[in-house]
Chains A and B, each alone.
Chain A
Amino acid sequence: MTSTTPPTTPPTSSSSPSSLPRRTVLATGAAGAAAAGVLGSGVRPAQADPTGQPGQAGAAERAKAKHEVFQHGVASGDPLPRRVVIWTRVTPTPAATAGSGKGGPVTVTWQVAKDKRFRKVVSKGRFLTSAGRDHTVKLDAKGLKPDTEYFYRFRALGQKSPVGRLRTAPRKRAALDNLRFGVVSCANLEAGFFSSYRGLAARDDLHAVLHLGDYLYEYPTGGYGMGQGNVVVRPHDPPHEMVSLEDYRRRHANYKADPDLQALHARYSWILTWDDHEVTNDQWKSGAENHDESEGDYKVRRARAHRAYDEWMPVRMDGTAALGDGTRLYRRLRFGQLAEVSMLDLRTYRDEQAALPGVDPTVSDPSRSITGKKQMAWLKESLTRGDHAPQWKVIGNPVMIAPVTFGDLPNDLIDPINDVTGILPGDGAPYNVDQWDGYTADRREVLGHIRDHQVKDVLFITGDIHSGWACELPLDTSTQPLYGDSYGVEFVCSSVTSNNLKDITGVPQLTPIVETAILANNRHIKYLDFDNHGYSVLDITPARAQMDWYVIGARDDAATPIEWSTSYATQAGTGRITPVDAPLEA
């Protein structure tokens, strides 16, 4: 979510365990404080620790019984045919908490094996980490075979990490029958448990997980809680807004202590990009909505956020797993001849959002950009890379590209919609200036490029807006219903926990009115769900791409049920969307 303004009122509910739903407390009691992320033992719902949070305090409690070196799980990411990034963090002493700067250097050994008992180790090595990199371990595990599943683990200070599982990408020219991704975005720890991560971790049919951004949130405790009441289901650590490098490191540790998140990281390799909240709300290249002079120089703050991200996330920046060699996050990952995933960074290079949407010609000023010049050239190259480019051009897109316009929407609904999506400013002008709608020249350039080169099978996979959407991508929304021209498809996953329309209004009955109005005024939008949280599963074959939307129940229930909601597909070569009757077989 990019346009949400944190409530100015304090949280109306405490974060103590007693405020949790009874069944959550019972679940916690039954499961105890078992470490998460252990493969082969099934996927447990998240547990609140005795302090009601999964962060530093929880780790400290556990450390009293026996100091755990690997408190933040393991992770892998950015799979290539012969190498994958693997990650962990060590806590060498109880005092060496994230961001503390305490603790000496530690040599960590790592192994990648064909079997989970590590009898057939295919790659191994040592890695020296220290407080200078917040005791994180991140490296490219090399010497692997394409399209192969492996197990990996770390050892340090006499302890073993949980075991992770990864899968390499297929060879460049491999012909694949299918490719399946979990799709998530917008996980606000204070707004609920990460049941969506639990749901995906329980599956055994994915190749990787796509995360479209807002992996964590910068707000202080109570700054952006659950629903109208701003309930803090689990408090952030640190309790204040993250600004310093220590803050960012601690917040990453806070999130990485969540057992559902740990389970999903351990189960699959992730392919991530960031949106705004990894730094701060509505950031652009030289500033952000949620940044002021009292918080120091914006670019210094951003550099700290990027540094912590590089330390704590299993991604390659500037093409490497090394720290400090660059912060370029936009990159491509190829999966045989079937697909290539191009992950965008739509924050670091963008011009400032327009101030007056609707009446401000800034939104269509061709000198403004959401991608920046270099990334735009790179994106266009991703779409037309000669004769050997893969079939499906999957664009990991942090904010929506489909145009959203409005006609007669009731005035009473403008504010709540805007709280969720930022689509509507108060004057009713039909633009969300934080999305591609605020940078229409860039959108025209991308869609025009697709049209000029007759690029087929372009698939934007998007997060950010806390709601599920399936859209065709016309150049001209006014003629599209009649002529049917569409230059790609956009599937938008809902949020893991971050608030949506029902959460803001507290009146679920309003949602159908809003959805009907939007769908009626935007015929290229085929599906819209403003009220649910969850995750998606994207399945790609040579014949079609299908997205399934799964929704969770109560966000403050760690064991909440998860249900299939709906599915839409686009057939190869069409750029059109059709509903599908049933979800993919897991």
Chain B
Amino acid sequence: MCQDTPLAGSPERAARRLAEIRASRRSVLTAAASGLAFSSAVGAAAPAGAASARTKKRCYVLVTDGCRPDEITPTLTPNLHALRSGGMWWPRATSMPVMETIPNHVMMMTGVRPDRSGVPANSFYDRELGEIRDMDRPSDIRVKTIIERLGKRGFTTGTVLSKEYLVGIFGERATHRWEPELYIPVSGHAPDLLTYNALTSMVDEFDPHLVFVNLGDIDRVGHTDLTGTNLRLLRQAALLDTDLLVGRFIDSLKSSGAWDHSMVIVIADHSMDWSIPTNVITLQGAMDEDPLLGGNVVIADNGGADLVYWTGPSGKLDKAVKRIQQIAEATPGVLKAWDRRTPWLRLGPESGDVVVFCQAGWRFSDPDPITSNPIPGNHGHPATRSIPFFIGGGHPVVKTGKVFSAHARTVDVAPTVARFFGMPTPKKRYDGKPRI
């Protein structure tokens, strides 16, 4: 089952995780004037302006989850379009493999690829546990994030994340955190209006130097939009709404004067592709029927990508990888089956032994062809790699109306934020590049 689907979350699971986070001795719960509750690091729940790092600079990373770059238009998303036109824009920007939510949010905040961060996908096979699970544990990230680096230097940070597994994996890293009390059943996320309220409330109450925001509506509606292959009616409604909220946030920065020293990065973690019910790929059955692979293969379904794990004897790994590739590439709808060790993929062992991508207009449903992944909207495959990536803001570092040919990537966010705040380059360098 693709874990980046609206069926992934459950109220019980969210409540359990929230309780675990709040039970931590390192957090205190703060009720903001808005009525929303925030978790803050002990000693950090101070009013705005009390940060130890004295700078007016503010950075907001707004992730319009799942937004396609061609959806930023003057008519559909006028506020985003205006922000893009008035700032710095990278039309060639892309998500990185696997084009899923968790790994690309982690790349944004760590500045390194999955072979270093340890987070290659949403859903993976945990060999220690012997089960497929989400990468939603704080310990899944093996390196320091820009959130922690800033915190160490006295900057305050905030996370406003609409999705349960993002709240989970970023854990207590930020100084101030909004952890939604409840996620929408079925969709499994907090709606953008609530996320927006949390963002503005956090800025009003704590004014962190960096706020990392995930707006999940565009992605969640996109997943379930049955008109996605053609009209995208629901999707377009979500885009209109999210755009309005971004516009409101920008207006609030301008009216408060914060705009003049702010940098606003707008980016998506991946885009979106839609499939019809007949364009479904299931590899598990063919693997099970193979004399070599039968009983020795586990598949973690990531919507547009299958991560295939060899669980048989290590001495037969190379042979098994070739066989998995053969079977996968002979399956209609499969674009390519890569040996995970292929250097450019930069995926670590957590992503299995073979990474299989589907063609545009297809999706994986493993292990069951009917029930595992019934939704039309998916990502994870190369057809969902293009993303919006632009920087607005009134801070002088933001150039006006400048478009760049460079290939910007999700992994560039952390080094860009680091440069904005004058942070030194870490000993183990970023894989991304600063874009300012």
Contact = CB atoms under 8 A, between A and B. Distances in A.
B226 interface: no
Interface in B377-394: 381-386
A573 B404 contact: no
Contacts of B92: 391, 456-457, 572
A479 B230 contact: yes
Nearest to A174: B405
Nearest to A387: B407
A482 interface: yes
Interface string B350-376: 000000000111000000000000000
Given A452-B359, A454-B383, A457-B91, A575 B70 contact: yes
B250 interface: no
Contacts of B231: 482-483
A337 interface: yes
B335 interface: yes
A331 B260 CA distance: 48
Interface residues of B, number: 26
B114 interface: no
Given A451-B383, A454-B384, A572-B91, A390 B271 contact: no
Interface string B66-99: 0001100000000000000000010110100000
A405 interface: no
A117 interface: no
Contacts of B89: 543
A102 to B, nearest CB: 51
Given A451-B360, A452-B359, A479-B230, A176 B405 contact: yes
A573 B385 CA distance: 12
Nearest to B385: A454
A575 B382 CA distance: 18
Interface residues of A, number: 30
Contacts of B70: 573-575
A452 B344 CA distance: 18
Nearest to B359: A452
Contacts of A448: 359-360
Contact of B409 (A175, A387, A451): A387
Contacts of B406: 175, 337
Q: A386, A452, A542 — which one has the most chain B CB atoms within 10 A of its CB?
A: A452
Contacts of B360: 448, 451-452, 454
A198 B70 CA distance: 39
Contacts of A313: none
Nearest to B344: A386
A176 B91 CA distance: 14
A543 B359 contact: no
B117 to A, nearest CB: 17
A277 B400 CA distance: 49
B403 interface: yes
B271 A542 contact: no
A454 B405 contact: no
A456 to B, nearest CB: 6
B382 A452 contact: yes
Contacts of A338: 405
A453 interface: yes
Contacts of A483: 230-231
A176 B406 CA distance: 10
A575 B68 CA distance: 13
A289 to B, nearest CB: 37
A388 interface: yes
A441 B403 CA distance: 36
A448 B70 CA distance: 18
A542 B403 contact: yes
A541 interface: yes
B350 to A, nearest CB: 21
B135 to A, nearest CB: 23
B230 A543 contact: no
A453 B385 CA distance: 7
A453 B383 contact: yes
A574 B71 CA distance: 9
Interface string A351-395: 000000000000000000000000000000000101111111000
A542 B405 contact: yes
Contacts of A541: 403
Interface string B339-356: 000001000000000000
A337 B230 CA distance: 33
A199 to B, nearest CB: 29
B403 A482 contact: no
A403 to B, nearest CB: 19
Interface in A174-196: 175-176
Contacts of B409: 387
A323 B69 CA distance: 47
Contacts of A479: 230
A132 B409 CA distance: 54
B405 A573 contact: no
Contacts of A235: none
Interface in A404-459: 448, 451-454, 456-457
Nearest to B271: A454
Interface of B: 69-70, 89, 91-92, 94, 230-231, 271, 335, 344, 359-361, 381-386, 403-407, 409
4 tightest A-B CB contacts, nearest first: A572-B91, A542-B403, A543-B403, A391-B405
12 contacts: A176-B405, A337-B406, A387-B94, A390-B405, A392-B405, A452-B360, A452-B382, A454-B360, A454-B383, A454-B384, A572-B403, A573-B386
Given A391-B405, A541-B403, 11 more contacts: A175-B404, A337-B406, A337-B407, A384-B382, A387-B407, A387-B409, A391-B407, A482-B230, A542-B403, A542-B404, A575-B70
